[in-house]
Amino acid sequence: MTERRRVIFLFLDGVGLGDDDPAVNPLAADAYPTLAALLAGRRPVAATGRLSTADAELIPTDANLGIAGRPQSATGQAAILTGVNAAQRLGEHYGPRPDARVRAILDEGGVFHQLQAAGRSAYFCNAYPQGYFDAVQRGKRLLSAVPYAATLAGQDLLTYADLCAGRALSADFTGEGWRGELGYADAPVYTPQEAGRVLWGLSQPHDFIFFEVWMTDVLGHARNRDGAVTFLMRFDGFLAGLLAAADLTQTLIIVASDHGNVEDCRHGKHTTNPALTLLLGAERQRYATQIADLTDFVPVINAFLGVPAPGSRPSATKL
């Protein structure tokens, strides 16, 4: 039986390619053995530029999209999820959460909806605590772009019960935050490497799985360089666990961000630096050439999975 083609999308909020200065840029620290091995000893910083190694493609990705000002989460994530230049359509960068204008773009059909419509299985694997659902129901919190797009495609957001049943992951990888900060004493806790293996298991029934990590942006806003190094070390271990478990012959792993922030811990604001993109796994060299800005991810995902572009005729599409 042929292994199904699969895309695993690891979304890191607020991670750009900045200065090669570990005093201000946690990505410049020599603390990430998995990333160092993937990048042949080079660092994910602006000076490295585009890089192709035996195991990875590093792609500085334009998050400015032709619009002045600091890129923001709602328009940037909408561009990633739909392939539409949301900032250009609005005439501004907007965030953090989608307003009616950004929701209208997502309503046109994001990657979750496009894949479901083409008969593919798409899965958003983050778990949310009950307090999140309560705040949304009371109108105290708006859905951010990723959960909004997933629910548009018909998926219910995953809960604590899903986390305990092994159907979801915590955004902090390990689940420790559910116990220590949210008060869920029985929440499952993993090492970062175990969490990476769990994600691989979660991906098995699906053609596309999306995992959102928002703590990088929070740490950038807090100017918490040391905390960011610690958290990125956790991500490095998570990535090691995923790669150790994964069959990369038919799987494309995309690590991507919506804008810069944490790579410059001097000011606590988003940056205009290129956003981080890493491609790992099957046909990464081919698809790396097709990514220049945030609008390029949906076409790459669809092409890898053999899904016709929206509005195209199947007879004219090479599957």
CA 141 to chain centre: 21
The C-alpha atoms of residue 41 and residue 57 are separated, in whole angstroms, by 13
The reported pLDDT for the residue numbered 312 is: 52
Q: How far apart are CA 169 and CA 208, in angstroms?
A: 15
What's the rounded mean pLDDT across residues 107-119? Answer: 97
Whole-number Cα distances in Å, 151 to 73, 105, 141, 232: 18, 14, 16, 29
* pLDDT surpasses 50 at 315: no
* Measured distance CA(302)–CA(166) in Å, rounded: 28
Mean of pLDDT values over 246-268:
98
Using CA atoms, how far residue 318 sits from 252, 289, 300, 313, in Å, is: 19, 18, 14, 10
Please indicate, yes or no, if residue 317 is contained in any of the structural domains. no
Please check whether residue 190 lies inside any domain of the structure. yes
Q: How many structural domains does the chain have?
A: 1
The tens digit of pLDDT for each residue in 169-205 reads: 999 999 999 999 999 999 999 999 999 999 999 999 9
Average confidence (pLDDT) over 44-54: 99
pTM of the full predicted structure? 0.95
What integer is the mean pLDDT of 43-59? 99
CB count within 10 Å of CB 140 equals 8
What number of helices (H) and strands (E) belong to the chain? Answer: 14, 7
Is the model's pLDDT at 136 over the cut of 70? yes
Q: Which of 76-85, 140-149, 170-179, 291-300 has the lowest mean pLDDT?
A: 140-149
Q: What is the mean pLDDT of residues 152-163?
A: 97
Q: What is the mean pLDDT of residues 302-318?
A: 67
The pLDDT value recorded for residue 289 is: 98
> pLDDT exceeding 70 applies to what percent of the chain?
96
Give a yes or no: residue 312 inside a domain.
no
CB atoms within 10 A of CB 197: 19
pLDDT for residue 309: 76
Query: What mean pLDDT do residues 288-317 have?
Result: 83
The yes-or-no verdict on residue 318 having pLDDT over 60 is no
**What's the rounded mean pLDDT across residues 52-75?**
98
Place 311 in a pLDDT band, splitting at 50, 70 and 90. low
Residue 314 domain-assigned (yes or no): no
Average pLDDT, the chain: 95
Domain of residue 223, residue span: 6-307
**Tally of CB atoms within 10 A around 283:** 14
Contact assessment for residue 111 and residue 300, using Cβ atoms and an 8 Å cutoff: no
Question: Has residue 117 got a pLDDT over 80?
Answer: yes
Tell me what the mean pLDDT of segment 209-229 comes to. 98
Please give the Cα distance from 17 to 19 (Å, whole number).
7
Answer whether residue 315 is part of any domain.
no
The amino acid sitting at 162 is D
Q: What is the mean pLDDT of residues 257-283?
A: 98
Given a contact cutoff of 8 angstroms between Cβ atoms, the answer to whether 170 and 178 are in contact is: yes
Looking at the chain, the whole-number percentage of residues with pLDDT higher than 90 is: 93
Q: Does residue 105 form part of some domain?
A: yes
Q: Would the pLDDT of 1 be above 60?
A: no
Check if the beta carbon of residue 304 is closer than 8 Å to that of residue 208: no
pLDDT at 66 over 50: yes
Q: Is residue 239 part of a domain?
A: yes
Which CATH number covers residue 234? 3.40.720.10
Strand order across the 56-58 sheet? 51-52, 56-58, 277-281, 251-256, 6-12, 208-213, 122-124
**Peptide bond before residue 310 is cis, with ω within 30 degrees of 0:** no
Is 290 within the bounds of a domain? yes
**Residue 70 pLDDT exceeds 70:** yes
